Amino acid sequence: MEILNKQDKQLDTGKTYRHNFQWYNFDEENCIFYVWHKKEIKLIESKNLWSTMSVFFIKDWQLQVNELTNNVKDWIFTACQIFSAFDEDNWWTYNFLPYFPTKLVDGKNTLFQKLWLNIQLSNSPKWVLINAGWNKLNIEDLDIQWQIWFLFWLTLLYWKFENKWNKLSSVKIQLPLFGQFLSIWDQIKNIQKQLQLNWIFIQVSENTQWDKCTYEITSNDYELLEIFWQLYLPVENFSQITKREQAQEAIEALKSFLWTEWENEMITKINNSCVKLLQKI
């Protein structure tokens, strides 16, 4: 993989510059980046990069959606069983969704039916309960395939797909963690690191209000969203993925720019690679 740039010894400043592109840290001596900014391709030195500028990230492979969607339903149970407790009165262990709005229970059950899932939510004096079987995996043992499925099911359970005019822009997961369940956040951050090693980008953050902590996972990585889109088709067919369309516009502009510089080998590489826009933050 690489972030598209030009190296030139004449640019050496004797310094190394650290950039954060959507939570991906990148250290580089002063060089020139190909930048997408205000719908134009620009050549910008490392030392002059600022937030909102986007660079081009290139890798020579892309996740295959078809391979990742096979037997995906078998793995929802891990997401369903994050929160469990023991009822000492009735002597049984139950799974629940903390702080889940009771008014959404019927809608979620309808969603599960559309996806042909044998999952049922129900109200109780304690929490909203979830009945989803007992095939549970250890989150720490999940490889990239299971990690992606795990995040998809978390999205269904703990918030939403964000779309406007039927265009999918991002996914957002909001986990209310407390007490013994706070350790789950370390596992989520480990998933973030593992996905980043495979050049899939998610963002994680913590929001504390009064005595309640909500841990948020978001992503607009079009490679991830394309997989989620396929999995969600029985419920809704989005017309497009916003970031994919925006990236394609920038990629076509980049190829035109490179053509004027006679960079034919780079154009060929772009045509045969997965190209993403990463915004500096």
The pLDDT score that the predictor gives to residue 135 is: 62
| CATH numbers and ranges of domains, the chain | 2-59+242-279 (no CATH), 65-238 (3.10.28)
Percent of the chain past pLDDT 90, that is, above it, reads: 31
Q: How confident is the model at residue 69 (pLDDT cuts 50, 70, 90)?
A: low
Tell me the C-alpha distance between 232 and 4, whole Å.
33
User: How high is the pLDDT of residue 160?
Assistant: 84
pLDDT exceeds 70 at position 134: no
Q: Are strands 203-209 and 212-219 parallel, antiparallel or unpaired?
A: antiparallel
Q: Which residues pair with 212 in a beta bridge?
A: 209
Q: What is the pLDDT of residue 179?
A: 85
By CB atoms closer than 10 A (0-12, 13-18, 19+), residue 67 is exposed
- 266 vs 72, higher pLDDT: 266
For residue 89, what is the DSSP state? T
Q: What pLDDT, on the 0 to 100 scale, is given for residue 216? A: 93
Q: Which of 113-122, 142-151, 176-185 has the lowest mean pLDDT?
A: 142-151
In the prediction, which pLDDT does 67 show?
54
Per the CB < 8 A criterion, the answer to whether 277 and 36 are in contact is yes
Q: Whole-angstrom Cα distance, residue 111 to residue 22?
A: 31
What does the pLDDT read at residue 212? Answer: 72
DSSP string, 106-135: HHHHHHHHHTT---EEE--SSSEEEE--S-
pLDDT tens for 5-52 read: 888 778 888 888 888 887 677 788 888 999 999 999 999 998 898 888
**pLDDT at res. 40:** 94
pLDDT-derived band of residue 208, with 50, 70 and 90 as boundaries? confident
- At residue 137, the pLDDT reads 59
Q: Which pLDDT belongs to residue 171?
A: 93
H helical segments located in 45-183: 65-69, 76-80, 105-114, 144-158
* pLDDT value at 74 more than 70: no
Is the pLDDT higher at 130 or at 213?
130
Bridging pattern class, strands 32-37 and 16-21: unpaired
Label residue 243 by pLDDT band (50, 70, 90): confident
Q: ∠158-164-165 over CA atoms, to 5°?
A: 135
- Alpha-helix residue ranges (DSSP H) falling in the chain: 65-69, 76-80, 105-114, 144-158, 184-197, 222-231, 242-260, 264-271
In percent, the amount of the chain with pLDDT more than 70 equals 90
Q: What was the pLDDT predicted at 140?
A: 64
CA angle, corner 268, sides to 265 and 269, nearest 5? 90
Q: Assess whether pLDDT exceeds 80 at residue 55.
A: yes
Q: What is the mean pLDDT of residues 212-234?
A: 89
pLDDT at 250 over 70: yes
**pLDDT, tens only, 137-170:** 566 666 777 788 889 989 999 888 888 888 999 9
Whether residue 83 has pLDDT greater than 80: yes
Q: Which of 62, 63, 55 is nearest to 24 (CA)?
A: 55
pTM value is 0.84
In a 13 Å sphere around the CA of 92, the CA atoms on its Cβ side amount to 6
Tell me if 218 sits within 8 A of 173, measured CB to CB.
yes
